[in-house]
Structures are given as structure tokens and as C-alpha cells.
Amino acid sequence: MALVPVTVACIGMGWWSDVLADAIVRSGKLSIASCYTRSEPKRKAFAAKYGCTAAPSYQAVLEDGRIDAIINTTPNNVHLETTRLAAAAGKHVFLDKPIANSVADGLAITAACRSAGVVLAIGYQRRRESQFRWIRRRIDEGAFGRLVNAEANISRDRLGKIDLASWRYSAEGMPGGVMLQIGIHYVDVLAYLIGPVRTVSAQFAQLVLPGDNPDVASMILEHDGGALSTVNASYASASEHYVMNVYGKEASAYYDLQQGLRFLKRGSDRADAVAVTNNDTCVEELEEFAAAVRGEASPEMGGVGATESLAVIRAGIRSAREGRRVEVAEMLAERT
């Protein structure tokens, strides 16, 4: 018997809402019944594009008995309010990263969903990319030996492409700028591959883009196992580029957007290319969420993991501001 799709409402009509809605359409395991954003033209356009109801208010969405879950792509600073209301209404929540702008809000979001007994999943799709899954399997098999170091870079060109009226490019809406906006993805991948992050040292800069937020950021991460890693994020680069290199005592893996994945074993004088298939990461995370709603799975990234990821970025912000190494535990202990 075919499963009945999980019925969702999408809130927050920005460019990422369409990315997730397109993934829902590709999947077929979820169905969009309703949408809401404060802009009437935006919600009507979204409703027309995806064949759903344009709700007159968020409350109307929450009172709609058809809705099993909320796909939440609202601005970071309203994640707590919108998610708390959804949880109180018994709606499960798929929330785009980061979980919030503050650790306190991340903790409150997690607690609200746990107390209400609803599923909370956070969108961290990059850890699902096939090259990182391949590296993780080889690590688990012991091929790398002791992990000692890693380096990551996530860069994009945003010169002339930003809207300074958007919350995504303001210090208030996106504290930490490019590191919270896109760097957090590779912070998560580093933690996924190397292990939890213990301390952070960071520097942020504003070099090319207008506005009040960093467009270049670098962080040194100390992981629980002792390995060190670096993550660099940039909106001021000439082009889009991604790098993730992982170094172990017995082997190393090298990934970049142009050359793909390569693997080098101890004693070899060349890195061998590794063939991996591009996978639909957004579909995968949404289908996992749907399975969790049906009680058949648990989200790979829930509130606890997402709050820890945010705490790494907040530690970086504090490190850059105060010129010192910051413990992630220091950030997780904050409640304001």
C-alpha cells in the first residue's frame, strides 16, 4: 500500500522556500497544502506555482486540520516564535538552518518541540552530499587512522548581487555574516567528519560587499579528538568554489567542486579519483523528516545538534570580537 504523503504548509516565501518546495514536488512523499508569508503578492505567487492555498494568516495555517507539519524558512530572528506556535498547535517542524541567531533561542526551540512531542528537523543538507558520506564510511572503517587535520572553504561571488534591505545581509538578521549564512554548512560537515568542536579561534572581515556584515571569515576549530581544522567562508570571491580536505595518519581525502573527490593512502605517490554520484540532498532530508513524522525515523539533525552547530559560530563571533580562543561550552552555557 502506498504511503499517504505528509501534508505540509510552507511559511516564509523567499528563494529557499521554492528550493524546498521543488524538492517536495520531486519527492512525492510530502504534499504542500497551504502557504503563508506577510506579503500577499508573494504568498499568492507561491500558491499559484505549487497549487496550494494562500492562507490569510499564520494562525489560519495552524488551525488547518489538514496540515501535519510546517516547512519554516522565515528569517532567523522569528524562528523561535513561529516554531513555538507550530509546536503548541501540534504541528511538526522542518526548520531551515541556522536554528536561530542565538543559542538561547535554539535551546528554547528544541525544548518547545520536545515538550509538545512534535518532530523538529533542521535543514543541513550539505552533510548528505555523496562525497562526504563516502569519506564518513571510510573513516568508520578505519581507513584514515587517527584524524589529525582538515581544511574547508565555501566561497561565492555576491558582488552586485545582494539586497541590503534583506535580513540575510544585515548584522541584526544574520550575525556573523557569511560564516553564519553559508560557512555554518561546512562547520557542520567538519563536525560530522572529524567530531564535535571544542574551541574556536576566528577572524572576520568586510572587504568587498557594502553593508555592515562580514563578507570574509576564517575559523580554526579544535575538535574533541584533538584534531584541528580550518573553515573559510567568503562572499567576496571571484566565483563559487567548495573545498573539503580531510587528513588522517593513514590516508587523506581531497574534495573540490571542480576536481571532485580523490583519496590518497599512506605510501602512495598519487591520489586516486573516487567516483561518487550526485544525490538529491534536499529530497533526502525532507523524506527523512516525513518518515519521522510518521514515527518511522529520527531526524539526522535535530535541535540539539543544530544548537551545537550554532554555538560554534557564536564562539567564532566572540573570538573575533575579543581576540581570544573561545570554548563552545561557554556559548552553550549562555541562556540570553
DSSP 31-98: EEEEEE-S-HHHHHHHHHHHT-EE-SSHHHHHH-TT--EEEE---GGGHHHHHHHHHHTT-EEEEESS
Residue 138 lies in a domain: yes
- Is there a single domain that holds both residue 72 and residue 142? no
- Express each pLDDT in 118-156 by its tens digit: 999 999 999 999 999 999 999 999 999 999 999 999 999
Instruction: Say yes or no: 212 and 162 in one domain.
Output: yes
Number of compact structural domains in the chain = 2
Note whether 246 and 208 are same-domain residues: yes
Check: CB of residue 84 under 8 Å from CB of residue 74.
no
203 and 109 within one domain: no
In a domain, residue 1? The reply is no
Same structural domain, 188 and 86: no
In this prediction, residue 148 carries a pLDDT of: 98
Instruction: For residues 148 and 237, state if they share a domain.
Output: yes
**Per-residue pLDDT band at 2 (split at 50, 70, 90):** low
How far apart (Å, rounded) are the C-alpha atoms in residues 131 and 315? 28
Instruction: Estimate to the nearest angstrom the gap between the alpha carbon of 51 and the chain centroid.
Output: 27
**Listed residue (54, 60, 102) closest to 77, CA to CA:** 102
Residue 44 lies in a domain: yes
Asked if the model's pLDDT at residue 166 lies above 90, the reply is: no
The model's pLDDT over 315-329, given as tens digits with 9 standing for 90+, comes to 999 999 999 999 999
- Given this model, what pLDDT does residue 1 score? 57
**Shared-domain flag, residues 145 and 37:** no
* pLDDT at res. 3: 82
Q: Please indicate, yes or no, whether residues 118 and 163 belong to a single structural domain of this protein.
A: no
Q: What is the dihedral of CA 304, 310, 314, 319, to 10 degrees?
A: 100
Q: Are residues 148 and 109 in the same domain?
A: no
Asked, for residue 331, whether it belongs to a domain, the answer is: no
Residue span of the structural domain in which 17 resides:
6-125+283-302
Residues 19 and 79 in one domain: yes
